[in-house]
Amino acid sequence: MIIRYERNGKVKHGWMVEEDNKVRVIEGDIYKIQSAKPIMTGLELPLDEIVLKAPSAPSKVVCIGINYRDHAAEMDIDLPEEPLMFLKPSTTVVGPGEPIVYPKLTQNLHYEGELAVVIKKEAKQVKAEDAEDYILGFTCAIDVTARDLQMSDGQWTRAKGFDTFCPLGPAIAAKLDYQNLRIVTKVNGEVRQDANTSQMIFTIPQLVEAVSAVMTLLPGDVILTGTPSGVGELRPGDEVSVTIEGIGTLATHVVQAEE
Ligand code: MG
């Protein structure tokens, strides 16, 4: 699985070999945006010598609003006829273990565990049947939401856009049966969401088609594919995690914004 990590002040990509607690160093650009082809070096690092970062540094995070039937029901929203899109700024992205900061402007912060798609190469007006060619892989995400601002504002820029509102990670898994993955969200060890990506209203290839019909997706960009039912509140001090079959667990915690 692909990770991004920091060591001695430098951020690089690596290949994580979970079984032996090691990371193989990748030199060059995994997206081949520059000329440097990615090279798997022979170099290996123990996991405890690196700091995991979000596995991608997207130019934008495109989110799908209602993509599980049971979540539409719990929010009392009609099923969408086409994917409902909104954006999170790139500054929402944080890596595994980096805390979610509880803003002073909200009194009702919610988690939404989601499967995230990481884009491999520039994608513009891609057809669903070609979508897999444009996908690097999949990771776990939390679409952190200030539910009170979402309801009061009428649109979602503030509610979804605070810094730290998009934890991503821990790694990007490529070869997955992505439309059949168990996704579990826990708060303080207690299961709050337990669903399967087979319950999505729009499939991932359909989402890539719909989003890329509007905006060009760049290498590293991320699509959050919607959350299942069971969304709920987070308080400062809470531990929250999202586990997706075949990818791993993204775990973080909530801290109060400083005065
Ligand atoms: Mg969401």
Q: What is the pLDDT of residue 138?
A: 97
Ligand 1 centre to CA of 67 (Å) is: 9
Question: How many angstroms separate the alpha carbon of residue 143 from the centre of ligand 1?
Answer: 5
SS3 216: coil
CA-based angle 87:111:122, to the nearest 5? 30
**What integer pLDDT is reported at residue 33 of this predicted model?**
57
Q: Over 60: is that where the pLDDT of 165 sits?
A: yes
Q: Is the distance from CB of 253 to CB of 237 less than 8 angstroms?
A: yes
Q: What is the pLDDT of residues 48-72, one digit of tens each?
A: 899 999 999 999 999 999 999 888 8
- For the segment(s) 61-256, the CATH number from 3.40.630.30, 3.90.850.10, 3.10.290.10, 2.40.110.10 is 3.90.850.10
**Does residue 32 carry a pLDDT above 80?**
no
135 Cα–ligand 1 center, Å: 20
pLDDT at res. 17 = 77
Q: How far is the CA of 49 from the centre of ligand 1 (A)?
A: 33
List pLDDT tens digits, range 101-113: 999 999 999 999 9
Per-residue model confidence (pLDDT) at position 137: 96
Q: Is the pLDDT of residue 35 over 60?
A: no
3-class secondary structure per residue, 139-197: EEEECCEEHHHHHHHCCCHHHHHCCCCEEEEEEEECCCCCCCCEEEEEECCEEEEEEEH
Question: What pTM does this model have?
Answer: 0.95
Structural contact between residues 165 and 92, judged by C-beta atoms closer than 8 angstroms: yes
CA of 114 to the centre of ligand 1 (A): 7
Q: What residue spans define the domains of the chain?
A: 2-53, 61-256
Check residue 41 and give its pLDDT: 81
46 CA to centre of ligand 1 in angstroms: 34
| Mean pLDDT score, 155-181 | 96
Residue 83 CA, ligand 1 centroid: distance in Å:
12
Q: For residue 187, how far is its CA from the centre of ligand 1 (angstroms)?
A: 17
**162, 196 Cβ separation under 8 angstroms:** no
* Residue 227 CA to ligand 1 centre (angstroms): 5
Query: At residue 2, what is the residue type?
Result: I
